[in-house]
Amino acid sequence: MADPDPKALDNLFTELLNTEDDALRAARESADAAGMPAIEVSAQHGKLLHLLTTMARATRVLEIGTLAGYSTINLARGVGADGHVVTLEYESRHADVARDNLERAGVCDRVEIIVGTALDTLPTLADRGDTFDLTFIDADKENNSAYVEWAVKLGHPGSIIVVDNIARFGRVLDPAPDDQQARAVRDMLKMMGQHPRLEVAAIQTVGTKGWDGFALARIS
């Protein structure tokens, strides 16, 4: 018997747990059709974001990295009809695809997409007095440490921070000198571990996205 396939098991979870509906499948397919990189969260990770948002009773969520809006839909469903999601996306064409997907999912009225460089747009959120109960970080890894710092600034005691892609297929263990993403993730994890206001766990995962993982933190 061949070794079990983690991707096949992930697909089984999605089938048995009825994780994806038509709107989520359409969001994933639209990203493929638009030629976007296949870097959106897995179906199970997306559902986990939904559950974390719901369990934390988060009504205001910040997302850094929209892509086609797959994770955004999960977060928007988690905050409920009276909640609000602010999602930051660098590429305007990605934001256009995401808007269509949010409309199809029936959550566009609770989502604000801001297009531009996140490190430029994050200060504008502080200027207008925004605070967030949960922040999901899934953008350029080289700026992860700065994104976490902004998540702390824009959060409050009890706010949750989720950072995606923290394993880099194990490269974080011993990053090559030219592997800027793995080095940045390792630096971020070290910073989070030393941060006086963060309690953190890092979880490895295996499945549709290969050897991956996420960090989960609570602001004190």
Q: For residue range 4-17, list pLDDT tens digits in order.
A: 889 999 999 999 99
Dihedral sign (CA 119, 120, 124, 125): negative
Continuous segment of H or E residues that includes residue 136: strand 134-137
Q: 208 or 106: whose pLDDT is higher?
A: 106
Predicted confidence at residue 1, as pLDDT, reads 59
The tokens of 167 are what?
């394993």
Name the one residue in this structure whose structure tokens are 């697909």: 11
Predicted confidence at residue 4, as pLDDT, reads 81
Predicted confidence at residue 168, as pLDDT, reads 85
* pLDDT per position as a tens digit, 40-88: 999 999 999 999 999 999 999 999 999 999 999 999 999 999 999 999 9
d(CA 215, CA 200): 7
Name the one residue in this structure whose structure tokens are 């747990």: 17
User: What would the mean pLDDT of 154-176 be, rounded to a whole number?
Assistant: 94
Taking residue 17's Cβ as centre, other Cβ atoms within 10 Å add up to 11
pTM for this prediction: 0.95
Strands 160-164 and 60-64: unpaired
Delimit the domains of the chain by residue range: 6-219
Characterize 124-155 residue by residue with b for buried, 16 or more Cβ atoms within 10 angstroms of its Cβ, and e for exposed.
Answer: ebeeeeeebbbbbbbbbbebbbebbebbbebb
Predicted confidence at residue 88, as pLDDT, reads 98
What is the topology classification, in CATH, of domain 6-219?
Rossmann fold (3.40.50)
Computed on alpha carbons and rounded to an integer, the radius of gyration of the chain in Å comes to 17
User: What would the mean pLDDT of 114-127 be, rounded to a whole number?
Assistant: 97
Predicted confidence at residue 38, as pLDDT, reads 82
* pLDDT per position as a tens digit, 126-148: 999 999 999 999 999 999 999 99
Does residue 24 have a pLDDT over 80? yes
Name the one residue in this structure whose structure tokens are 């004190």: 220
Taking residue 59's Cβ as centre, other Cβ atoms within 10 Å add up to 17
Percent of the chain having pLDDT more than 90? 90
Name the one residue in this structure whose structure tokens are 């394993």: 167
d(CA 76, CA 102): 9
* pLDDT per position as a tens digit, 27-52: 999 998 988 888 899 999 999 999 99
Per-chain mean pLDDT for the chain: 95
Helical pair 92-105 and 22-33, crossing angle rounded to 10 deg = 160
Listed in sequence order, the residues at least 6 apart from 103 whose beta carbon sits closer than 8 Å to its beta carbon are none
Per DSSP, which regions of 65-121 are E strands?
A: 84-89, 111-115
